[in-house]
């Protein structure tokens, strides 16, 4: 498989994500595990992972044979999709969640598959797409007497020049952004509700151009 292109897009929750277009979807072989997290790396740097800690109704209770790198085979019933922030707490080789799209005729909205890549590949692709990765370590906390580790994630950031001739949003914290018009948004930095501005005038209605005799 080959990577055809990559770009950074603002998703509907006002977060930037890395979209990777490929000619074929990556294939995964055997898995390793750390604690409850199972992981498989493709030769190109794509990563598939999930959580499993015994039979559950996760994934609809699917039955799956998981071939492990040490040659053993595990029989799973269910499992959970997990997320990069959890994987990064148990694996030293960190991953970044991305959206993977196959290079076919695009639907009107860009529909892709949730996926992940190694931090090394993400760093290169995000730079090519004009952005940066910012490491965020979530706070640890106690839940029902158990220590829960905060997610360790790499957020995709891209500064785009603000266009005040269009719709734009501002926050009391100083953050400003253009986003798709007419949608109420919270500030991605402080989560306060942002104020919407309109930098243009709608053109006046056209004058009557024909007369009924
Ligand atoms: Zn703010």
Q: What contacts 160, CB < 8 A, 6 or more positions away?
A: 177, 178
Q: 118 versus 138: which is more confidently predicted?
A: 118
Distance from the CA of 166 to the center of ligand 1, in angstroms? 20
Distance 191 CA to ligand 1 centre (A): 6
For residues 15 and 155, the answer to whether their CB atoms sit within 8 Å is: yes
| pLDDT confidence of residue 36 | 95
How many A from CA of 170 to the centre of ligand 1?
8
Instruction: Convert the pLDDT of each residue in 126-143 to its tens digit.
Output: 999 988 898 888 888 888
Distance 95 CA to ligand 1 centre (A): 28
**What's the 163 CA to ligand 1 centre distance in angstroms?**
18
Give pLDDT, residue 200.
Answer: 87
Q: CA 103, CA 96: separation in Å to the nearest integer?
A: 21
Predicted confidence at residue 108, as pLDDT, reads: 62
Which pLDDT value is given to residue 15? 78
Stronger pLDDT, 42 or 192, i.e. the higher one: 42
Q: How many residues does the chain have?
A: 213
10 CA from centroid of ligand 1 (Å): 17
Task: Give 72-87 pLDDT, tens digit per residue.
Answer: 999 999 999 999 999 9
Q: How far is CA 47 from CA 10, 79, 112, 117, in A?
A: 22, 17, 16, 5
For residue 179, is pLDDT > 70? no
Entry pTM: 0.74
Cα distance from N-terminal residue to C-terminal residue, the chain: 68
Per-residue pLDDT, 119: 98
CA of 173 to the centre of ligand 1 (A): 4
The first and second tokens of residue 44, run together, are 């190109």
Q: Which of 14-23, 58-67, 166-175, 201-210 reaches the highest mean pLDDT?
A: 58-67
**Residues contacting 34, CB < 8 A, separation 6+:** 90, 91
Q: What is the pLDDT of residues 139-177, one digit of tens each?
A: 888 888 988 889 999 989 887 778 898 888 899 999 888
Task: Compute the average pLDDT of residues 109-138.
Answer: 90
Under 8 Å between Cβ of 27 and 1: yes
Q: What pLDDT score does 181 carry?
A: 46
Distance 188 CA to ligand 1 centre (A): 7
Mean pLDDT of the chain: 88
């Amino acid at each position: 498989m080959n990577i055809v292109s990559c770009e950074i897009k603002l998703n509907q929750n006002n977060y930037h994500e890395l979209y990777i277009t490929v000619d074929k979807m990556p294939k995964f072989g055997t898995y390793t595990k750390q604690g409850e997290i199972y992981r498989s790396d493709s030769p190109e740097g794509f990563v598939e992972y999930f959580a499993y800690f015994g039979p559950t109704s996760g994934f609809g209770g699917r039955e799956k044979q998981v071939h492990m790198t040490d040659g053993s085979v595990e029989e799973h019933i269910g499992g959970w999709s997990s997320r990069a922030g959890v994987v990064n707490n148990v694996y030293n080789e960190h991953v970044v969640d991305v959206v993977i799209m196959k290079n076919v005729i695009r639907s009107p909205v860009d529909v892709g598959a949730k996926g992940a890549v190694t931090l090394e590949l993400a760093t290169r692709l995000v730079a090519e797409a004009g952005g940066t990765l910012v490491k965020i370590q979530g706070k640890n906390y106690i839940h029902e007497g158990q220590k829960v580790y905060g997610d360790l994630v790499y957020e995709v950031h891209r500064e785009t020049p603000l266009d005040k001739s269009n719709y734009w949003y501002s926050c009391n914290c100083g953050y400003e952004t253009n986003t798709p018009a007419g949608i109420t948004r919270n500030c991605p930095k402080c989560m306060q509700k942002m104020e919407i501005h309109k930098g243009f005038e709608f053109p006046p209605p056209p004058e009557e151009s024909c007369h009924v005799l």
